Amino acid sequence: MISLEVIKKDIKNIAEVISSVLNVDVTIVDKDLTRIAGTGKYRNKIGEKVSLYSAFRNSLDTGKSFIIENPRFDKICQMCKGKKDCKEFAEVCCPIRLYDKIYGVIGLIAFSKEQRDNIMKNKKELMDFLAKMADFISSKIEAENKSYELKLEAKRLEMLLNNMDKAVVSTDIHGNIDKYNDKLKKIFNLKDSFEKDNIFNLFSFIKMEDIKGIKERYKSTSFVYKKEGHTLRGIYNINPIIIDTEVKGYVFDFIDNYSAIKEFNEITGADYNIKFNNIIGNSQLMKKVKKEAQIASKSSSTVLIIGESGTGKELFARAIHNNSNRHEGPFIAINCAAIPDNLLESELFGYEEGAFTGAKKGGKLGKFELANKGTIFLDEIGDMSLHLQGKLLRVLQEREVEKIGGKANISVDVRIIAATNKNLESMVEKGEFREDLYYRLNVIPINIPPLRERREDISLLIESIIDDYSNKLNKVIYGIDDEAMKRILHHSWPGNVRQLQNVIEYSINMASSNIIKYEDLPQKLKDESKKMFFNKEEEITPIKELEKKEIIKALDKFKEYKKDKEKAADALGISRATLYRKLKEYKIN
């Protein structure tokens, strides 16, 4: 809510007009009872506060207009401290209102009988006139409010624009620059005079034909900007400003390569922060692998990670990147098996505008370009076609990328980590994988052992997975009982850690107590246990151990009952006395 002070020049003029028309003294106060305008005797008192118990206060509080015909005797005057010395013959108050808010009061004061008679003669006309004057002031307030709101909005937008990660510029339909943010000047290194320029002159990679007729956001076109030794690569979008189906202008937003990579990583939900201590495993085998990977992280040579599916190959690749001197650069992962060959080529190497039918305007940045100064993780490299293997080999040898349809090669500074669950050596023998590429990739091989070869790690992994998933699933699970653990330890874990995660997630869902029990495990795992019962290879459990386990199970089952021991003995098919004897024998409390 603005104060009348803001429009005091107008208010003073209005006070003078009223005074000269009605031949009485005029005072106009704001909502804090500060005199904003005054005529005659009150001219010298502008800026002072009027009495807290005055008629003005009454008008401000009630929002009503009134005439005090008999000052000192009127009800309103009873609280007034200046009552005794009051020289007024009459007083009129009219609030200044805009919608439901009162901004101040116009007051007329008669200091002579003649002035009072004047007021009393034309009461109605006078009140109408004052109401009109109050409305006039209100309209000024409204205009001022609007201009204040506009200023505030403009400031807000300016702050928003300048705090954006993207560089932004808006133009009219002819491309004349209108507004822009600080980031635009910064990333393109622009001189002040650029504002008078036209977007097509400023950025030659944007063509008038590109924006003509576009009715919706034109997305992710890559650009290269070169001027006076300053080069910038990135992606831009064109957003038409549409009002009532008509295009009125455009907003262009730009992100540089580095931000594009960050955006890419956010889209894929990549976890940036994997470190070696996030990789669980204390077995001798894992300790050895972690040590090798730590050494590899300090080198820039190519790493080939070999391991079955779900053993943590990507986890290792991320930890290597995060522990390397490239950790501030991007980590770009791409699964070579998940993308059809022709698309994989443009994903990896990008293409120039017009490289093929259907190619996007402005072309496309490849993952190698995006990974510049960072690491590219080529997962499932064994699934890459021989044609792409050849292109990849060239990148490894020349450290340059050849874009599809590109005239010049682009040099890149990328560390390559490849991974496979296939036996590349036998693929080489069969002619399915290029031998030269295999040797280029296999500079530092890291073999991740499958879970079945490091069963010592299983309980640690389970602990961490339980922590993780009970949080995610909002359940309180403290651990796993011996029987369930034994079953898990005997499983062959073809899906490795990923499969273990699935089994624990399932069991946490099924668990009806705070401990995962055998019955909570997936049926497939339990069925295997039955099969194992008949398997001669399996170790034999001593009868006494089986008996002890069944007794514990029965006690646990009936622990909530008053006659728990009696019920447990019944279920076990033994007498209570025998149960007590066995509890003593097996030292069960």
Ligand X SMILES: Nc1ncnc2c1ncn2[C@@H]1O[C@H](COP(=O)(O)OP(=O)(O)OP(=O)(O)O)[C@@H](O)[C@H]1O
Residues at the site binding ligand X, with contacts judged by CB under 6 A: 279-281, 307, 309-315, 379, 421, 497-498, 501
Which amino acid, residue 413?
A: D
Q: Which is nearer to ligand X, 183 or 321 (CB)?
A: 321
**Which of these, 273, 272, 276, 321, lies nearest to 300 by C-alpha position?**
321
Burial of 301 (0-12, 13-18, 19+ CB in 10 A): exposed
Choice between 3 and 283, CB closer to ligand X: 283
Q: Among residues 166 and 318, whose Cβ is nearest to ligand X?
A: 318
Q: How far apart are CA 312 and CA 238, in angstroms?
A: 41
Taking CB positions, which residue lies at the least distance from ligand X? 312
* Cβ 314 vs Cβ 456: under 8 Å: no
Nearer to ligand X, 279 or 418 (CB): 279
Q: Contact, 435 vs 429, CB < 8 A? A: no
Structure-block tokens of residue 462: 């389970």
d(CA 364, CA 377): 19
Nearer to ligand X, 176 or 309 (CB): 309
67, 61 Cβ separation under 8 angstroms: no
Task: For residue 477, give the DSSP letter.
Answer: -
d(CA 24, CA 258): 73
Cα gap 198→371, rounded to integer Å: 33
375 vs 421 by CB, closer to ligand X:
421
Helix (H, G, I), strand (E, B) or coil at 414: coil
Cα-Cα-Cα-Cα torsion 427, 432, 433, 434, nearest 10 degrees, comes to 130
Shortest Å, Cβ 324 to ligand X: 17
CA pair distance 132, 134, nearest whole angstrom: 5
- When the beta carbons of 26 and 304 are compared against ligand X, the nearer one is 304
Q: For residues 309 and 409, which CB has a smaller minimum distance to ligand X in the complex? A: 309
Question: What minimum distance in Å lies between the beta carbon of 335 and ligand X?
Answer: 7
Cα 396 from Cα 388, distance rounded (Å): 12
Beta carbon nearer to ligand X, 297 or 501 = 501
Cβ-contact 453, 289 below 8 angstroms = no
Q: Which is nearer to ligand X, 35 or 290 (CB)?
A: 290
CB of 466 to ligand X, least distance (A): 13
Q: How far is the CB of 565 from ligand X (least distance, A)?
A: 43
Distance CA 58, CA 65 (A): 10
Q: What 3-state class would DSSP assign to 297?
A: helix
Q: How far is the CB of 344 from ligand X (least distance, A)?
A: 16
Across the beta sheet with 35-38, the strand order is 35-38, 25-30, 101-110, 90-98, 66-68
Write down the least CB distance from residue 379 to ligand X, Å: 6
d(CA 29, CA 106): 7
Q: Which is nearer to ligand X, 315 or 344 (CB)?
A: 315
Q: Report in angstroms how near the CB of residue 495 gets to ligand X at its nearest.
A: 9
Q: How far apart are CA 414 and CA 395, in angstroms?
A: 9
Length of the chain as a residue count: 589
Instruction: Please list, in sequence order, all residues whose beta carbon lies within 8 angstroms of the beta carbon of residue 186, skipping any fewer than 6 positions away.
Output: 167
Q: Which amino acid is at 357?
A: T
Shortest Å, Cβ 501 to ligand X? 6
Q: Which residues contact 141 (CB under 8 A, 6 or more apart)?
A: 2, 4, 7, 96, 98, 103
CB 347 within 8 A of CB 366: yes
Q: Name the 3-class secondary structure at 198.
A: strand
Nearer to ligand X, 38 or 310 (CB): 310
Helix (H, G, I), strand (E, B), or coil: what is residue 102? strand
Closest distance to ligand X from the beta carbon of 496 (Å): 7
Cβ nearer to ligand X, comparing 181 with 311:
311
- Least Cβ distance, residue 527 to ligand X (angstroms): 24
Nearest approach, Cβ of 298 to ligand X (angstroms)? 21
Nearest distance in Å: CB 460, ligand X: 9
Residue 420 C-beta: closest distance to ligand X, Å: 8
Axis crossing angle, helix 123-162 with helix 8-22, rounded to the nearest 10: 170
Tell me the closest approach of the beta carbon of residue 222 to ligand X, in angstroms: 28
- How far apart, in whole angstroms, are the C-alpha atoms of residue 207 and residue 21? 66
Nearer CB in complex with ligand X: 250/316: 316
